[in-house]
């Protein structure tokens, strides 16, 4: 049994991590600022296990961290502002919480050594996922230019304009930081891994792909795409899909992600490593919208494919989970249809304030979507 501090532990992923750790017998303390964009009224969320001790405070507050770390053996660092689009105009806030907050945590750990540190990173650090050409050779760079997007040429091409095929993205794929959010997540993982190597703290960086499941913040327009679609559908409105909707993503259940965090706290082989956490499968955004509408029983609300794009978005990225299986003993257990059925059951009776139009307007005013 260990006493674990989960920063950001009152959030969507963090609350599930807390539950998973409690179920295996660990003691859990949660540090969370209860940000109103996620938590509305700011009180303790009902979905947070009563067995988890909650400390309300900001990860950038050294005194608050000192209290939160008292008696703690291990740390799962999930605190972050989340939202690719929003990060492009709330630059100082995202950099402060994600990068500076992590730095303040690590300085606090100098005075309170722990036996293990797990930090949440993101698939966003890859930019575009891995692509191969017609001969199966990996393409070193497949980033799309703004001029290309303005033409509606959605698919990346090789350096000579050749067609490319997306394949599962391994951790060896070089990073390509296309948003402030991605830069901040890369800062978080590198800071923690550098700290771990310097101070002999076994540290694992987990790159989460598109996480979904119950307890998502439905009224947060910068949360995961499934929650955004659910919010629209619950309000009798069609989901808005950028580009042509054929972009492919890896949707992974929050239960699998929470289990990966728990495994990372015990997996000695993973120390010092970056590890993908996904389902290992891909699905198009069009398909995920249609499947969610079918499960919710609102198939008449056809998705609205806008043909617009957002600065910082990528075309295809889905996980190669070979390393997670080898180093963590991780296997994705929740199939997509089963996960969507669970999400639909949880959505019954939920109230979602649809703020997608307002968020899109913010991006448009700043020239970040066209």
Give the residue numbers annotated as catalytic, written as ranges. Answer: 181
CA distances from 3 to 15, 117, 238, 296 (A): 16, 12, 45, 39
- Asked if 164 contacts 155 with a C-beta cutoff of 8 angstroms, the reply is yes
Q: Give the Cα-Cα-Cα angle 83, 86, 89 (nearest 5 degrees).
A: 145
Are 131 and 142 in contact, with CB atoms under 8 Å apart? yes
Report the C-alpha gap between 354 and 370 in whole angstroms. 21
What DSSP element (H or E) covers 258?
helix 254-264
Residues 6+ apart with CB under 8 A from 216: 12, 223, 224, 226, 227, 230
Given a contact cutoff of 8 angstroms between Cβ atoms, the answer to whether 60 and 80 are in contact is no
Placement of tokens 């393409």 in the chain: 139
Structure tokens at 87: 């990060």
> Which of 68, 55, 80 shows the shortest CA–CA distance to 112?
68
If you write DSSP's letter for every residue of 54-81 in order, what string do you get?
EEE--TT-HHHHHHHHTT--EEEE----
240 Cβ partners below 8 Å, 6+ apart? 232, 303, 304, 306, 356, 360
Task: Say what angle helices 336-347 and 285-296 make with each other, to 10 degrees.
Answer: 50
3-state helix, strand, coil in the chain (%, to 5): 40, 15, 45
Judge contact between 116 and 201, C-beta under 8 A. Answer: yes
* CA gap 144, 302 in Å, rounded: 28
Encoding tokens for residue 219?
């009224």
d(CA 237, CA 361): 17
């Amino acid at each position: 049994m260990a006493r674990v501090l989960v920063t950001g532990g009152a959030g969507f992923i963090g609350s599930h991590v807390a539950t998973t750790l409690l179920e295996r017998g660990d003691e859990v303390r949660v540090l969370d600022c209860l940000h109103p964009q996620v938590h509305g009224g700011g009180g303790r969320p009902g979905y947070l296990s009563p067995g988890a001790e909650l400390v309300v405070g900001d990860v950038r507050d050294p005194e608050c961290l000192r209290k939160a770390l008292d008696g703690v053996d291990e740390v799962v660092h999930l605190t972050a502002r989340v939202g690719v689009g929003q990060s492009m105009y709330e630059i100082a806030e995202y950099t402060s919480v994600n990068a500076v907050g992590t730095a303040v945590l690590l300085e606090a750990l100098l005075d309170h050594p722990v036996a293990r540190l797990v930090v949440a990173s993101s698939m966003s650090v890859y930019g575009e996922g891995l692509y191969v050409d017609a001969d199966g050779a990996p393409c070193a760079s497949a980033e799309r230019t703004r001029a290309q997007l303005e033409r509606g040429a959605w698919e990346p091409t090789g350096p000579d304009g050749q067609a490319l095929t997306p394949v599962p993205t391994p951790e060896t794929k070089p990073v390509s930081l296309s948003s402030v959010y991605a830069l901040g997540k890369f800062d978080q993982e590198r800071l923690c891994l550098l700290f771990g190597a310097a101070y002999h703290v076994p540290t694992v960086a987990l790159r989460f792909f598109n996480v979904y499941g119950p307890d998502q913040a439905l009224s947060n327009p910068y949360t995961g795409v499934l929650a955004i679609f659910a919010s629209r559908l619950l309000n009798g409105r069609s989901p808005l899909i950028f580009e042509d909707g054929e972009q492919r993503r890896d949707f992974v259940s929050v239960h699998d992600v929470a289990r990966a965090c728990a495994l990372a706290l015990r997996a000695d082989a993973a120390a010092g490593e970056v590890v993908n956490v996904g389902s290992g499968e891909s699905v198009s955004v069009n398909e995920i919208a249609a499947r969610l509408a079918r499960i919710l029983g609102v198939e008449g609300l056809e998705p609205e494919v806008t043909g617009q794009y957002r600065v910082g978005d990528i075309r295809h990225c889905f996980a190669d989970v070979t390393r997670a299986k080898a180093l963590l003993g991780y296997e994705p257990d929740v199939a997509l249809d089963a996960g969507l059925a669970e999400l639909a059951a949880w959505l019954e009776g939920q109230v979602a304030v649809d703020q997608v139009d307002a968020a899109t307007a913010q991006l448009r005013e700043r020239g970040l979507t066209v």
